[in-house]
Amino acid sequence: MDNTLKTGAPDSKTINLKEEYEVKYWKKELNASKEDLEEAVEAVGKSVEKVREFLNTKDLDAKYPPLT
């Protein structure tokens, strides 16, 4: 369980969206909105590595949509 008095850097391996200080930290660290973080965690789980990969892929898809 997270310490609610903690305001510094969160666990470096997982993202806990239930802790506002973690959401704030990961939004800045990953340059993502809260909605992007929620989407990523729902899609791939709480692993920072997997969330980062998901967000990077999402950014590439937005910049370079598939050719049809």
Where are the chain's structural domains? Answer: 20-63
For residues 20 and 6, give the distance between their C-alpha atoms in angstroms, rounded to a whole number.
10
CB neighbour class for 22 (10 Å; exposed up to 12, middle 13-18, buried from 19): buried
What is residue 60's predicted lDDT score, i.e. its pLDDT? 67
**pLDDT tens digits, 5-60:** 555 566 789 999 999 999 999 999 999 999 999 999 999 999 999 999 999 988 76
pTM: 0.75
End-to-end Cα separation, the chain, in angstroms: 47
Q: Give me the phi and psi of 54, to 5 degrees please.
A: -60, -45
